[in-house]
C-alpha cells in the first residue's frame, strides 16, 4: 500500500490530505505536525479549522486510511511521497525583510526528511514558495541524502478558504511541475495517478518545476489585482455617484472579463494574497525588473489605501472623532464561512479606530475572543509565526461579544467587515433603537440594503455606492 505523509496539518495540509484519503482507499495518508494541540484537535470532534463539509470528510476516513500524528519522523521515514505544507511567511528581518518568503520552516522540514529517510522518496512542495525553491530544496536533500534518491515536485494548492472541500473535490486544475528527466517524469506520473482517482485527466496539468512554482504566485497576483482594480473603481464611484455593483456587473458581462471576483470591499485579506504578491515583488527586484516589481506593488498599496480610506470615512463622518465612542465591529474573519483571521482587513480597520481611541465591541460568529485579542496585539506580518511567540491584547478599548445585538447596543456606529450571511437579516430596526443618534452604518462588504436602512433612520456608507447626503460633502480621503 502506498504511503503518503504530509508535514504541516494546517488549512492546506489537513483538508488536502483528507481529500486524498477520501478518494484513494488504496493509500495510507498521515498528516503530521510539530504543534501537538493542532494534532489533538484533528483527532477530536472539534477540528482545528472551520471549513464547510470538512467534518464529514474527516469522519469518513480518519482511522481508516487517514491519520493525524505528532510522530513526524516515523511517518516521514515510512512514506513514499512526502508533501510539505508548512508556513512560508513574509520575512521579518534581514535580507528581503517585509517582502521575501521566509523559508525557515521549509528548510528545517527538508533537513529532517534527509535525516530520517532510508528509502527513495518523492518530495512535494505544497506550500506556496518563491520560484526556484525546488532547486534549493534539491540541494539540501541531495547533499544530506546518504545515497537516497529524492525527486522534487511542485504541486501548488489553489483552494480558497470557505469553499476548500468543493475546490478540492472539483478543482479547476491540479498543477504538477517536475524535472524533465526520466526520473522526474516518473515522479510526475506517480503523483498524477494519485489525483487521477477523482480528478479528470484533462484537469491535471504537468509542466516544468519553475512554471508550476511561478503559476501559483501569478494566479494569486492576478486575483488580487482584480479586487484592487474594482476597489480603486469604488473610490471613483463614490466621487461621481456611480454604483460600483452596477459598474462591476456591466464590466463582468464581457465574457473576456467574467463576473466572478469583482466584489468591491474594505480590502482583501487572507494568508495568501499580500504575502504572495510581496514575494513576487521581491523576486522581480532580485531579477532587476524594477518596473514589473512596482506594477505588482501597487496592488498591495491600493489594498492598504482601501482599508485606510474606510477608517477615514468612519472618523470623518462621525464629526471627525471617534474618541470614547462605542463602535460595533460586525465580522472579523477575512471572509465569510471561515474562522481564519490572517491578514483580515478587520485587523487594520480596528487598529485604525483604536488609534483614534474608539471603544470597539467586536462580534464574529466563528472567531474566538482569544484569537481577536491575539490578532490585535501582534505586529503586522508577525502573525504567521508560531503561536507561543504571540501575545494577547490587554486593552480597555476592545471587548469581544458573542451576540451582534450586544455589540451594537449603545453604539454610535456599526462597521460591517465580513460578509457573513447573517448580517443581511439582522433586525436593523431593533439595532437602530438601541444605538446612539445619529446612528451610522459603514458597510465594508455591501451586504445590507442601503435604502432600507436609510428608511429606518441610519446614516449609511456602503463601499462604492452613491453617498448618503451626510457623507457626501466630506472629503473622500481627508489627510491623515
Ligand X SMILES: NC(=O)c1ccc[n+]([C@@H]2O[C@H](COP(=O)([O-])OP(=O)(O)OC[C@H]3O[C@@H](n4cnc5c(N)ncnc54)[C@H](O)[C@@H]3O)[C@@H](O)[C@H]2O)c1
b/e 367-390 (16+ beta carbons within 10 angstroms → b): beeebbbbbbebeebebbbeeeee
Binding of ligand X by 77 (CB under 6 A): no
Residue whose grid cell is 519522523: 73
Report how far apart, in Å, the C-alpha atoms of 293 and of each of 107, 215, 267 are: 26, 16, 21
Q: Please, which residue, 33 or 348, has the CB nearer to ligand X?
A: 33
Distance, in Å, from the CA atom of 69 to the CA atom of 49, rounded to the nearest integer, reads: 16
Q: Does 262 bind ligand UPG (CB under 6 A)?
A: yes
x-or-dash pattern for ligand UPG, window 333-372, by CB under 6 A?
-xx-------------------------------------
Residue 128 to residue 89: CA distance in whole angstroms: 10
The stretch among 18-26, 179-187, 193-201, 219-227 that binds ligand UPG (CB under 6 A) is 219-227
Q: Which H or E element spans position 434?
A: helix 428-434
How many Cβ atoms sit within 10 Å of the Cβ of residue 50? 18
Tell me the closest approach of the beta carbon of residue 123 to ligand X, in angstroms.
Answer: 13
Cβ contact 395:324 at 8 Å:
no
Quick check: 128 binds ligand X (CB under 6 A)? yes
Q: Is 272 a known active-site residue?
A: yes
Q: Does residue 87 belong to the site contacting ligand X (CB under 6 A)? A: yes
Q: Which three cell numbers stand for residue 393?
A: 491584547
* Positions 263 through 292 that interact with ligand UPG (CB under 6 A): 263, 265, 268-270, 272-273
User: Which of 88, 154, 231, 303: binder of ligand X (CB under 6 A)?
Assistant: 88
Contact in structure between 210 and 195 (CB atoms under 8 Å): no
d(CA 314, CA 351): 13
- 340/348 with CB nearer ligand X: 340
- Catalytic hit among 6, 24, 61, 272: 272
**Residue of the chain from 210, 261, 405, 432 that contacts ligand UPG (CB under 6 A):** 261
SS3 label, residue 205: strand
In the complex, the residues that contact ligand UPG under the rule CB under 6 A are 128, 157-161, 220, 223, 227, 261-263, 265, 268-270, 272-273, 334-335
For the annotated binding site for NAD(+), the residues are 8-13, 33, 38, 86-90, 127-128, 161, 272-275, 342
In the complex, the residues that contact ligand X under the rule CB under 6 A are 7-13, 33-35, 38, 72, 85-88, 105, 108-109, 127-128, 157, 159, 161, 271-272
Amino acid at each position: 500500500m502506498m504511503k503518503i505523509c504530509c508535514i504541516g496539518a494546517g488549512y492546506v495540509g489537513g483538508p488536502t490530505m483528507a481529500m486524498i484519503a477520501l478518494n484513494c482507499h488504496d493509500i495510507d495518508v498521515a498528516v503530521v505536525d510539530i504543534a501537538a494541540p493542532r494534532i489533538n484537535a484533528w483527532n477530536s470532534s472539534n477540528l482545528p479549522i472551520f471549513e464547510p463539509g470538512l467534518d464529514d470528510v474527516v469522519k469518513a476516513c480518519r482511522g481508516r486510511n487517514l491519520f493525524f500524528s505528532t510522530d513526524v519522523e516515523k511517518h516521514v521515514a515510512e512514506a513514499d511521497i512526502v508533501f510539505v505544507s508548512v508556513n512560508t511567511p513574509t520575512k521579518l528581518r534581514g535580507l528581503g525583510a517585509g517582502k521575501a518568503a521566509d523559508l525557515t520552516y521549509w528548510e528545517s522540514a527538508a533537513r529532517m526528511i534527509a535525516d530520517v529517510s532510508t528509502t527513495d522518496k518523492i518530495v512535494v512542495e505544497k506550500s506556496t514558495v518563491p520560484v526556484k525553491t525546488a532547486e534549493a530544496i534539491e540541494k539540501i536533500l541531495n547533499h544530506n541524502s546518504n545515497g537516497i534518491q529524492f525527486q522534487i515536485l511542485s504541486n501548488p494548492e489553489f483552494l480558497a478558504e470557505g469553499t476548500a472541500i468543493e475546490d478540492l473535490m472539483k478543482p479547476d486544475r491540479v498543477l504538477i511541475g517536475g524535472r524533465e528527466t526520466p526520473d522526474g517524469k516518473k515522479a510526475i506520473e506517480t503523483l498524477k495517478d494519485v489525483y487521477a482517482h477523482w480528478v479528470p485527466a484533462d484537469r491535471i496539468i504537468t509542466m516544468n518545476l519553475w512554471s508550476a512554482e511561478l503559476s501559483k504566485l501569478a494566479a494569486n497576483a492576478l486575483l488580487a489585482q482584480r479586487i484592487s482594480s474594482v476597489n480603486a473603481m469604488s473610490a471613483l464611484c463614490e466621487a461621481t455617484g456611480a454604483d460600483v455593483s452596477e459598474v462591476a456587473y456591466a464590466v463582468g458581462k464581457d465574457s473576456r472579463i467574467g463576473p466572478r471576483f469583482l466584489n468591491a470591499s474594505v480590502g482583501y485579506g487572507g494568508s495568501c494574497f499580500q504575502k504572495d504578491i510581496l514575494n513576487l515583488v521581491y523576486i522581480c527586484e532580485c531579477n532587476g525588473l524594477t518596473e514589473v516589481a512596482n506594477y505588482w506593488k501597487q496592488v498591495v498599496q491600493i489594498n492598504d489605501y482601501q482599508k485606510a480610506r474606510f477608517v477615514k470615512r468612519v472618523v470623518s463622518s462621525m464629526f471627525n472623532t471617534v474618541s470614547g465612542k462605542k463602535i460595533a465591529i460586525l465580522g472579523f474573519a477575512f471572509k465569510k464561512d471561515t474562522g481564519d483571521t490572517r491578514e483580515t482587513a478587520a485587523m487594520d480597520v480596528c487598529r485604525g479606530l483604536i488609534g483614534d481611541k474608539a471603544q470597539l465591541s467586536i462580534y464574529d460568529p466563528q472567531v474566538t475572543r482569544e484569537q481577536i485579542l491575539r490578532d490585535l496585539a501582534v505586529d503586522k506580518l508577525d502573525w504567521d509565526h508560531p503561536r507561543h511567540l504571540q501575545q494577547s491584547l490587554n486593552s480597555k478599548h476592545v471587548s469581544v461579544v458573542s451576540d451582534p445585538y450586544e455589540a451594537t447596543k449603545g453604539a454610535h456606529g456599526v462597521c460591517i467587515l465580513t460578509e457573513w450571511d447573517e448580517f443581511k437579516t439582522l433586525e436593523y430596526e431593533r439595532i437602530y433603537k438601541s444605538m446612539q443618534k445619529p446612528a451610522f452604518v459603514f458597510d465594508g462588504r455591501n451586504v445590507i440594503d442601503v435604502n432600507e436602512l436609510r428608511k429606518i433612520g441610519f446614516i449609511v456608507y456602503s463601499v462604492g455606492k452613491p453617498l448618503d447626503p451626510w457623507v457626501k460633502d466630506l472629503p473622500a480621503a481627508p489627510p491623515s
